[in-house]
Amino acid sequence: MAVYTEVSDEALAAFLDGYALGRLVAFRGIAEGVENSNYALKTEAGDFILTLYEKRVDPRDLPWFLGLMRHLAARGIRCPEPVPGKDGEALRELAGRPAAICTFLPGVWPRRVRVEHCAPLGAALAALHLAGRDYDGVRPNALGPSGWPPLLEGSRASGDSVQPGLIAELDARLAEVLADWPHTLPRGQIHADLFPDNVFFLPGPEGRPEVSGLIDFYFACTDFLAYDLAVCLNAWCFEPDGAFNVTKARALLGTYDAARPLEPAERAALPVLCRGAALRFLLTRLYDWTHTPDGALVTRKDPLEYLRKLRFFAGAASLSSLGL
Amino acid sequence: MAVYTEVSDEALAAFLDGYALGRLVAFRGIAEGVENSNYALKTEAGDFILTLYEKRVDPRDLPWFLGLMRHLAARGIRCPEPVPGKDGEALRELAGRPAAICTFLPGVWPRRVRVEHCAPLGAALAALHLAGRDYDGVRPNALGPSGWPPLLEGSRASGDSVQPGLIAELDARLAEVLADWPHTLPRGQIHADLFPDNVFFLPGPEGRPEVSGLIDFYFACTDFLAYDLAVCLNAWCFEPDGAFNVTKARALLGTYDAARPLEPAERAALPVLCRGAALRFLLTRLYDWTHTPDGALVTRKDPLEYLRKLRFFAGAASLSSLGL
C-alpha cells in the first residue's frame, strides 16, 4: 500500500496547471513503495510518476534527492528524472505535501531474483557510482553506523518480544560491527536501498534481463561506495531458504568490479560492510515491527530474516571465506 | 492495497505468450480496489489492466462478468473490455489464480464528489441499464435481501462491540426492510457497486466532468434496475458530515430518468431500495470489521457511516419527503 495522501480532482487539476504536460488522461495509485504516496499519472505528454513525500522523508533533503536524480539521468543512468514545472521548479506542493512528477521508467522488478539479474545489477550499480562522482553536496547516511545505536535503543523495551535474547545479541553484534567498521574507503553518492523492487528489468535482444531503471532514491546518501554492494549482497544473494547464493554474489561483484575495480581495502572491508548492512535493515525492521500499530496499512517486514543474514556474514572473516 | 498475489517474471512472460500484445514494457501493482489483485500492464500494444481474481470472487461467475463487460463495451459503454488470448479465450490462469487482461480506461475517479459529477453519472447508469437489456443469463444478487440475514448472523456475536445495541437495531431494521421490499419492478443487469472509485471522469470540452469509464463489474448481477440508483444515492449523495445533498440526488435522478424514465412503482420503491442498499453496505462492512484480523492489509471501512444513512432513509416515506 503506498497511497497515504488522497488528492482531490480540483487539487490535481490546479497542480497540473503548473506543468506543460497537456491534459490529464489518467491517475491511479500505485501499490508499491512504502515510504511515500505514488501515483501513475498519464497526460497527453505521456506516462509519469507523481510522488507525494510523506512524513518519513525530510523535506530539506528533497532538493538533494531530486538534484541527484537529475544529475544521474543527465549522465545516462536510467533513473526517474524530475520534471520541472512551467517555472522551472520540480519540487512543488500538492495536498499539503511536497510533491514532484518524475519520468516513467519501463520494466518490471524481479519477484524472484535469478543469477541472470545479478550481473546487470552489478554493472548498473557501478555505473551509478561513477555517474555520481561529480555530484556536489554531501548527504550523511542517517541510517549508517551512527544511526544504529539510537535505533536499537528505540527497540530495547519490546525487541525481545520478537525473539527472546534478541536485544542482548544485537548489543554484542552492534559493538563488534562498530569496532570493525572501516574509516577510509572510497566514498560517493550511493543508493543505499537497492532492493529488487527498486530495479526494473526488461529482456534484452537475446532474452537476458537488462536493467531498464533504478528507482526510489530517497535513502540515497554519501557513504562508502562498497556499502551499496553490501546492501545488494544482502538483498539479492540469499535464497528464500536463507542460503547464501555464491553464484549470484560472484555475478554481482564481477560486473561491478569490471566497471569500477574494487580496491584491496574495499575487498577486505566487504564482510563487515555486509554485517553492517544486515544490521541496518534488521534494526529498521525491528523498530517498525515494534512500533507499527496493529491494523496499520503497512506490511511489516520480518526483522529475523536479517538476523540470519547478520549471523551468516559474522561467520565470514574475508571474501574468500564467503567463496568470493 | 490491492496486490494479494505476486506474479513472478517467468510466470508473467509465459502468460503474455498467450496473447498477441507484443513485448512487455511495464508491470506495476495498483493500489486501488479491494477484492482482487490489479496490475497496470503496459505492452507494445498499449496500456491494459491485468486482474487476478482472489478468493472472494467465485470463479464460476467469471464468464458471466467478462461476458457482460464484452456485451456492454460492444454497445458503447465505456467499461473494461476483456482481451482475448491468441486462442480466443479471455479468462486464463496466472499464479494459480483465474486471471484476465482488460482494456485500460482513461480518467480519474472523484476523490470528492461534486454536483457536476452526478448528472453524468445518472446518464451513464441509465445507459448501462439499457445496454444490458439484451445480455442473456441471470446472476442472482448474492448480496440482495436473501443475503442480508446470514450476513447479520455472521456479525451477531461481535457486532455490538462496534456500537452497543447495534445488533438489536439491525434486527428491527432488517425486518422492516424485508417486509417492505418490492417484488415486481423492472429488472436487468445492474452494477450493484457503483461507488465513486468505480467511475472515471475527464473534463469535457467545456470543462465539465464527463464519464470516461465504469469499472469493477465483479458485483454485477440481475436485480431491480432502480436498486442501482439506490446504491448511487447512498454512495454519491451524502456529504462528509452525513448530510443528504438533495441537489446531487436530483441531478443523478434527473439524467437517469431522462434516459430511462422511471415507472411510478420504481419511484415509490426508491426509499425502501435506499434503505436496503444502506443495509447491504452496512452489513458487509460490519462483517469485514468484525472478521478482519488486526494487522491485515485491508482498509476496514466504517460500518456506522451506513447506519447513519440507513436511519436517514428510514425517515423518508416517499421520494417527495426526500425533497426529490
Confidence of residue B172 (pLDDT cuts 50, 70, 90): very high
Instruction: Indicate whether B207 and B65 sit together in one domain.
Output: no
- pLDDT at A299 exceeding the cut of 70: no
Domain match, B214 and B311 both: yes
For residue range A143-181, list pLDDT tens digits in order.
999 999 999 999 999 999 999 999 999 999 999 999 999
On whether residue A64 sits in a domain, the answer given is: yes
Please answer yes or no on whether A295 and B295 come within 8 Å at the CB atom.
Answer: yes
The one-letter amino acid code at B124 reads A
Query: Which residue shows C-alpha cell 535464497?
Result: A239
Could you tell me whether strands A46-52 and A37-43 are parallel, antiparallel, or unpaired per DSSP bridges? Answer: antiparallel
Are A2 and B31 an interchain contact pair (Cβ–Cβ within 8 Å)? Answer: yes
Nearest-Cα residue of chain A relative to residue B29? A31
Domain end (from A81, A103, A125): A103
| Confidence grade of residue B1 (pLDDT, cut at 50, 70, 90) | very low
Q: Which of residues 284-303 of A touch B (CB under 8 A)?
A: 294-297, 299-300
Same domain, B168 and B291: yes
Q: Which residue among B25, B29, B201 places its CB closest to the CB of A32?
A: B29
In a domain, A220, yes or no: yes
Q: Please check whether residue B108 lies inside any domain of the structure.
A: no
Same domain for A297 and A183, yes or no, is: yes
Average pLDDT, chain B: 94
Do B58 and B151 fall within a single domain?
no
Q: Which residues in chain A are contacts of B80 at CB distance < 8 A? A: none
Task: Using an 8 Å CB-CB cutoff, list chain A residues near B110.
Answer: 9
Q: How many CB atoms lie within 10 A of CB B312?
A: 18
Using CB atoms, which residue from A42, A200, A299 is nearest to B297? A299
Q: Are residues A22 and A77 in the same domain?
A: yes
Residue A265 belongs to some domain of the structure: yes
Structural domain includes residue A140: yes
Nearest-CA distance A37 → chain B (Å) = 10
Bridge partners (DSSP) listed for residue A224: A187
Q: Contact B111/A1, CB-based, under 8 Å? A: no
Q: Please, what is the average pLDDT of chain A?
A: 94
Cell numbers that stand for B287 in this block: 462483517
Q: State whether A32 and A97 are in the same domain.
A: yes
Q: Does B1 touch chain A (CB under 8 A)?
A: yes
Burial of B239 (0-12, 13-18, 19+ CB in 10 A): exposed
Query: What are the chain B neighbours of A94 within 8 Å (beta carbons)?
Result: none
- Using the Cα atoms of residue B150, residue B155, residue B156 and residue B157 in order, give the sign of their dihedral: positive
Residue A201 has pLDDT above 70, yes or no: yes
pLDDT band at A293 (very low <50, low <70, confident <90, very high): low
Of B42, B105, B111, the CB nearest to A7: B111
Chain A interface, mutation test: which of B108, B216, B291, most A Cβ atoms within 10 Å? Answer: B108
Contact B30 A31 (CB under 8 A): yes
Q: Give CA–CA dist B188/B223, Å, rounded.
A: 6
CB proximity under 8 Å: B 79-118 to A: 104-108, 110-112
Confidence of residue B298 (pLDDT cuts 50, 70, 90): low
Do B268 and B171 fall within a single domain? yes
| Beta-carbon count within 10 A of A245 CB | 19
Within 10 A of B89 (CB to CB), how many other CB atoms are there?
12
Q: What is the pLDDT of residue A56?
A: 83
* Statement to judge: residues A128 and A264 lie in one domain: yes
B237 and B253 in contact (C-beta within 8 Å)?
no
Sort out which chain B residues have CB atoms less than 8 A from A302's CB and list them.
Answer: none
d(C-alpha B248, C-alpha B250), whole Å: 5
Range of the domain at B257: 115-322
Total of domains in chain B:
2
- Nearest chain A Cα distance for residue B162, angstroms: 16
The residues in B 190-249 lying below 8 A from A, measured between CB atoms, are 200-203, 209
Most B CBs within 10 Å, among A16, A111, A289, to test the B interface: A111
Whole-number Cα distances in Å, A122 to A15, A49, A75? 38, 26, 18
Chain A residues in contact with B23 by the CB 8 A cut-off are: 202-203
Q: How far is B125 from chain A (nearest CA, A)?
A: 21
Q: Identify from B3, B4, B9 which residue to disrupt to test chain A contact, counting A C-beta atoms within 10 A and taking the largest count.
A: B9
The predicted pLDDT at position A1 comes to 40
- Residues A44-69 have pLDDT tens digits of 999 999 999 988 889 999 999 999 99
Q: Which of A43, A69, A103 is the last residue of a domain?
A: A103
What pLDDT does residue A32 have?
Answer: 74
Q: Would you call A297 and B112 a contact, using CB atoms and an 8 Å cutoff? A: no
State the pLDDT at residue A294. 57
Residue A19 maps to a domain: yes
Indicate whether A245 and A173 sit together in one domain. yes
Q: C-alpha cell of B50?
A: 491485468
* Residue B25, in any domain of the structure: yes
Instruction: Tell me, yes or no, whether B124 lies in a domain.
Output: yes
CATH of the domain at A76: 3.30.200.20
Q: What's the full length of chain B, in residues?
A: 324
Q: 3-state SS string over chain B?
A: CCCCCCCCHHHHHHHHCCCCCCCEEEEEEECCCCCCEEEEEEECCEEEEEEECCCCCCHHHHHHHHHHHHHHHHCCCCCCCECCCCCCCCCEEECCEEEEEEECCCEECCCCCCHHHHHHHHHHHHHHHHHCCCCCCCCCCCCCHHHHHHHHHHHCCCHHHCCCCHHHHHHHHHHHHHHHCCCCCCEEEECCCCCHHHEEEEECCCCCEEEEEECCCCCCEEEEHHHHHHHHHHHHCECCCCCECHHHHHHHHHHHHHHCCCCHHHHHHHHHHHHHHHHHHHHHHHHHHHHCCCCCCCCCCCCHHHHHHHHHHHCCCCCHHHCC
Residues A229, A235, A241: CA angle, nearest 5 degrees: 135
Worst-scoring range by mean pLDDT, A219-223, B123-127, B225-229, B298-302?
B298-302
Residues facing residue B99 across a β-bridge? B52, B92
Tens of pLDDT, residues A81-138:
999 999 999 999 999 999 999 999 999 999 999 999 999 999 999 999 999 999 988 9
A63 and A152 share a domain? Answer: no
Please check whether residues A211 and A311 belong to one and the same domain: yes
Q: Check whether A298 has a pLDDT greater than 60.
A: no
φ, ψ for residue A149 (rounded to 5)?
-55, -45
Give the tens place of pLDDT for each residue, A262-290: 999 999 999 999 999 999 999 999 998 88
Rounded CA-CA distance A189/A125 in Å is 11
Residue position matching grid coordinates 495536498: A95
Domain final residue pick, B103, B124, B154 = B103
Q: Do B203 and A295 touch (CB under 8 A)?
A: no
Q: Which residues of A touch B40 (CB under 8 A)?
A: 28, 30, 40
> Which among B189, B215, B173 is positioned nearest to B51, based on CA atoms?
B215
**Residue A7 touches chain B, beta carbons under 8 Å:** yes
Whether residue A24 and residue B295 make contact (CB cut-off 8 A), yes or no, is: no
Q: What are the residues facing A189 on neighbouring strands?
A: A222
Q: Residue B148 is part of a domain; what is its CATH number?
A: 3.90.1200.10
